[in-house]
Amino acid sequence: MIEEIQEAIEKRRTFAIISHPDAGKTTLTEKLLLYSGKIQAAGMVKGRKGRKAAASDWMAMEQERGISITSSAMQFSYKDVIVNVLDTPGHEDFSEDTYRTLTAADCAIMVIDASKGVEKQTRKLFEVCRIRKIPVLTFINKMDMPSREPLDLMNEVENVLQIHSFAMNWPIGTGRDFKGVVDRMTGECIFFTKLSHGGAQKAGMQRVPLASDEAKQTIGETGYKQLVEELELLEMAGNPFKKEEFLSGDVTPVFFASALTNFGVEPFFDAFIHLAPSPHARLADKPDGTEVAIDPVTTPFSGYVFKLQANMDRRHRDSMAFIRICSGKFERDLVVKNHRLNREMRLSRPHGMVAGERTTLDVAYPGDVIGVINSGFFSIGDTLSITGGFNFKPLPQFQPEVFAKLHTKDVGKRKSFDKGIVQLVEEGAIQMLRPFEYEGDPTFAAVGRLQFEVMQYRLKDEYGVETVLTPLPYQCSAWILGDIKTYVKSVSSIIVQDKLGRPMGLFQDQWDKQYCIRHNPKHQFVDLLA
């Protein structure tokens, strides 16, 4: 059994793809499916009329708008390696969902638009990776479009993100002249040719030595001279690449490519499976407050719930719990203990996921993500195991920044409205806050406004309920720790409670919040619960 688990772990790569919106991460995810043979033709990401929607975007709203607002978990094989890819939301309003998903990843691919460089959301997500010591590979995308100078992009990655970078390859031309890349590890030019329209099929690929006459003729005299000068500059300015520095988060290997045309995609994937780490030990807290490392091989089954998603199967209207397996071998019908509830449950119908399509799993190993039907047994952050005696580190909960009341237009749909709200709140993107000291309608809270729009869309699309949203004037919040009976609130703020009954202050602006902080020196105001 030990040897079986060890062998399975060594074959696995579990990673998340992070980026600013529209940098091309969903396209890259789909091209991984194409190159693995999971799909036969890649569709356009935006899913416009007459075109296929991206394989990882299953929700109707995502397919209409061409944005990822949920996290998809997919597993497939790529050249003898088992890949678990977590396609995270790009939109900043869903950063909390992305943060939780990153906790389930052993590595991250950071996608950067070659014309825009390091953007706001990229910086935020990279900082999350830094905090959790997640190694990051950088994929500079859209080299087939007008772009910034490659050296400028490398410098920006280093200066803005405060990490060393190492160019694993170097572009041969940019924009319409983007012909391929130089593999700096082998000294070869890799030239690409289009074999289909819009990158629907794999690109043709030819390797020739950089010093060969064929390379010089293909690139042209002027372009070849410039390319050699840039490569010499990289050699003089940079240090040799060391894998251990990448795994420790001190350096990010950089690749130049175009996910849309597939130029540079296959060499990137080939390098990724050799560089990315296999699942490793994870820290957990014991009841006595000490830490313990959960070894993925020797510890019997354990895992934790990092995501809940309702209505992935429109026929059954159920809720799916996504579980990252951290240790041991999982087998169908395994009886596990939910540490929070101190109850046992049989996991009889575990699922694998690709673009909303379920496949029943019989076995799974550390690094894998399984989906199980949630009948109220699971909450985000739950630790599951056979042995018990520990809890994986808690997932963070962010302070909400936008607030509203929500009502159904048709009172006859109240039952459907309540069911939809319960399931959507369980997913964690929307919080439902109750008045603290009296009965009344709940306040709905979110990190960003798009979450409200998605909530209304899904209530209508998945539950048949049209709603009216009334924004509230509060702009910030904080959990309040201390004796609430002695708390002094401002005239314009209110006190509510979250689903666990913890008091939270809602404030009209930062001045209002600071006023309450000054007048309550014995209370703590917490913006992030972990």
Topology of the domain covering 397-529: Alpha-Beta Plaits (3.30.70)
Joined together, the tokens standing for residue 369 give 């993500």
Helix residue ranges, H only, 143-191: 150-161
Rounded to whole angstroms, the Cα distance separating 307 from 526 reads 23
C-beta of residue 302 within 8 angstroms of C-beta of residue 293: no
Helix, strand and coil content of the chain, in percent to the nearest 5, comes to 30, 30, 40
C-beta of residue 208 within 8 angstroms of C-beta of residue 214: yes
Q: How do the domains of the chain map onto residue ranges?
A: 12-275, 282-392, 397-529
What residues have CB less than 8 Å from 61, skipping those under 6 apart? 69, 454, 457, 458, 461
Rounded to whole angstroms, the Cα distance separating 127 from 118 reads 12
Q: Which CATH class is domain 282-392?
A: mainly beta
Q: Which CATH class is domain 12-275?
A: alpha beta
pLDDT tens, N- to C-terminus, the chain (530 residues)? 899 999 999 999 999 988 887 888 888 888 888 898 877 676 644 443 444 445 444 445 444 544 433 446 788 889 889 999 886 665 454 456 777 888 899 999 999 999 999 987 788 778 878 888 899 999 999 999 999 999 999 999 999 999 999 999 999 999 999 999 999 999 999 999 988 887 788 999 999 999 999 999 999 999 999 999 999 999 887 778 999 999 999 999 999 999 999 999 999 999 999 999 999 999 999 999 899 999 999 999 999 998 887 655 555 556 788 899 999 999 999 999 999 999 999 988 887 765 456 678 889 999 999 988 887 788 888 999 999 999 998 876 667 889 999 999 999 999 999 988 987 887 776 889 999 878 889 999 987 787 888 888 888 888 899 999 999 999 999 999 999 999 999 999 999 999 889 999 999 999 999 999 999 999 999 886 65
Q: What is the DSSP letter of 277?
A: P
- The 10 Å Cβ neighbour count of residue 444 is 23
Give buried/exposed letters for 504-519 (b at 16+ CB in 10 A, else e).
Answer: bbbbbeeebbebbbee
Backbone angles phi, psi at 127, to 5 degrees: -65, -35
Return the half-sphere exposure (C-beta side, CA atoms, 13 A cut-off) of residue 417: 14
Q: Within its chain, how far is the Cα of 75 from the centroid?
A: 15
What pairing do the DSSP bridges indicate for beta strands 12-19 and 72-78? unpaired
Instruction: Supply the pTM of this predicted model.
Output: 0.78
Q: Could you tell me which of 93, 91, 89, 87 has the C-alpha nearest to residue 72? A: 87
Return the half-sphere exposure (C-beta side, CA atoms, 13 A cut-off) of residue 327: 23
